[in-house]
Chain A
């Protein structure tokens, strides 16, 4: 599975490793739902660290799309919320 960390690039992750990442993703989602900035920060950091640990960088000239896209590590809650809406941060 290919995961993109915004501002950083794509990493390829073996499938067995993705289960642990799903838990982290669930924690991140819960933190965003609760509007809990410190929990959000911890969860995002943990998730990105998990992707780094399990993934290998995809070559720069690859044109494969990612299956999952993660916000950049220093994104705050408000930015991530914007990313999750259509009119948000992502240029069209």
Chain B
């Protein structure tokens, strides 16, 4: 519209307010001129007012629908953001700073989408409020017009009615013009939001918000799950070791269960035939003179301890572990 300065210069040199006012008035007068009997204009105008009321109410409903859609998206993205934050925490806890970094990067992308949506939401809410107020104002004016219309029709001849009608008519038609513009603006805004909301729905569906880098969708979670599973196995092992260590055959703990074959071989070669009880690290070994634990020890090779000892050494406890 920069180019308009030259052509519109003369129009604009009149006061802006006056010019806009004149335009409104000329529209109202055009509508008035359509009817032969000015009293017909009243009924015609009233019909249009009712239509306009319908339209503004539909406008309010449309904006509300749009707003709710944005709200829904905000919730979805917020959940995603929370999930990414948890993933980042988990990843860091597991010593995977790279994964944590990736999760936080995605989270910041989700957050920026979120603040964008918050702005849209506020704008739609403002539009909805404006239209609601406009709708109430128009309703008041339409009611007033209906009363006036009936008075004019009952009391005045066609000739006399003209001025009265003009008065009532210019007031209401100005309101109609105003409300019409408000509806148009709300529709434009809603259409823009719908387009953006559609784009965000697609984004959410594609998982692109969860995945800014183009790698498979839930790769952070998959990695964490893998690590989690690995950790669980390690934890289980640790637990079992602990249980075995405090049991009646403490020396079994000395051999690394499922440990490297090299160590196991070395142990069996060098240490296993030597007196076994002192090998236990936790100091719960019975006195060498006891004899009871050592009886079983030499017959079990270190490499077998991991598998065979678990079911035989303490069957009831293994059952309560998943």
Task: Say whether B23 contacts A91, CB under 8 Å.
Answer: no
| Cα distance A91–B31 in the bound complex, in angstroms | 11
Interface centre among B16, B23, B24, B167 (most CB of A within 10 A): B16
Point out the residues of chain B lying under 8 angstroms from A26, CB to CB: 15
Q: Mark A27-56, 1 if CB is under 8 A from B, else 0.
A: 011001111000000000001000000000
Task: Say whether B148 contacts A63, CB under 8 Å.
Answer: yes
Task: Say whether B4 contacts A35, CB under 8 Å.
Answer: yes
| Tally of contact residues, A, Cβ under 8 A | 42
Write the nearest CB–CB distance from A82 to chain B, whole angstroms.
Answer: 8
Which applies to chain B's interface (DSSP): helix, strand, loop or mixed? helix
Q: Which of B130-138, B231-239, B265-273, B305-313 is near enough to bind chain A? A: B130-138
Interface centre among A9, A90, A92 (most CB of B within 10 A): A90
Task: Say whether B2 contacts A65, CB under 8 Å.
Answer: no
| Cα distance A68–B174 in the bound complex, in angstroms | 11
Among candidates B1, B171, B176, B185, residue contacting A81 with C-beta atoms closer than 8 Å: B1
Point out the residues of chain A lying under 8 angstroms from B8, CB to CB: 32, 81, 84-85
Task: Say whether A85 contacts B140, CB under 8 Å.
Answer: no
Point out the residues of chain A lying under 8 angstroms from B177, CB to CB: 90-91
| Cα distance A50–B179 in the bound complex, in angstroms | 23
| Cα distance A85–B185 in the bound complex, in angstroms | 18
Point out the residues of chain B lying under 8 angstroms from A84, CB to CB: 8, 11-12, 16, 19-20, 23
Closest 7 CB pairs of A and B: A63-B171, A91-B180, A60-B140, A78-B1, A65-B170, A61-B144, A68-B17
